[in-house]
Amino acid sequence: MRIKINIKINNREADKLIEKYYEGLTTGDEERQLKAFLSRRDLPDKYKPEQVILGHFDRKAPKKHVSLLPYIRWASVAAVVVLGLFSIQRFTADNKANYAFIDGHKVSNMHTIKSQALASLVDVSSSTNEVEEGFKSLNENESIEQQLDVFSSTEK
């Protein structure tokens, strides 16, 4: 059991204790008395430096330390979850990106699309040789001269 005795000191005794404090000769009890004296509100201005030195000026509430680490951890966990859900949805969804329009209807059956494409290629190759005829007409000097005339007239 500890009994606290609150002994109030006056200004003259405080001055002696301050001198002793600066000389390093105060005891623990004397320092407690000095701190109690300097923590009073009705002190003259001559004790303000000692209040500052001994840390007995108006104390402000300590600033809260805000750490971003928990928020970063939660954000990274959320990002992993969202990425996982997106990946699962992306790779498990029916991949119907391959389709073609045949006679105005959307067809996604790859076998049907391939057979229709091959049939249309056969039709192109079996038709009259329009492409070959077009190349032959390009080789004719007459059509080339006509085209040159057209270009030379626009340059003037």
pLDDT tens, position by position, 111-148: 888 888 888 777 665 555 666 776 666 666 666 777 77
Mean pLDDT of all residues in 73-102: 83
- Residue 89: inside a domain: no
Determine the pLDDT at residue 4. Answer: 54
- Residue 6: inside a domain: no
- Residue 115: inside a domain: yes
Please count the structural domains in the chain. 2
Under DSSP, is residue 101 helix (H, G, I), strand (E, B) or coil? strand
**Does 27 or 123 have the greater pLDDT score?**
27
- Name the domain boundary from 34, 54, 74: 54
Determine the pLDDT at residue 6. Answer: 56
How much of the chain, in percent, has pLDDT values that exceed 70? 71
Determine the Cα–Cα distance for residues 126 and 141; give it in Å rounded to an integer. 29
How much of the chain, in percent, has pLDDT values that exceed 90? 9
Q: Which domain holds residue 49?
A: 11-54
- Residue 4: inside a domain: no
- Residue 63: inside a domain: no
Reduce the secondary structure of 6-67 to three states and give it as a string: CCCCCHHHHHHHHHHHHHCCCCHHHHHHHHHHHCCCCCCHHHHHHHHHHCCCCCCCCCCCCC
- Residue 80: inside a domain: no
- CB within 8 A of 137, min separation 6: which ones? 143
- Residue 83: inside a domain: no
Determine the Cα–Cα distance for residues 66 and 62; give it in Å rounded to an integer. 12
- Residue 75: inside a domain: no
Determine the pLDDT at residue 126. Answer: 57
Average pLDDT value for the chain:
77
Q: pLDDT, tens digit, for every residue of 36-58? A: 888 887 788 888 888 777 765 44
Determine the pLDDT at residue 79. Answer: 94
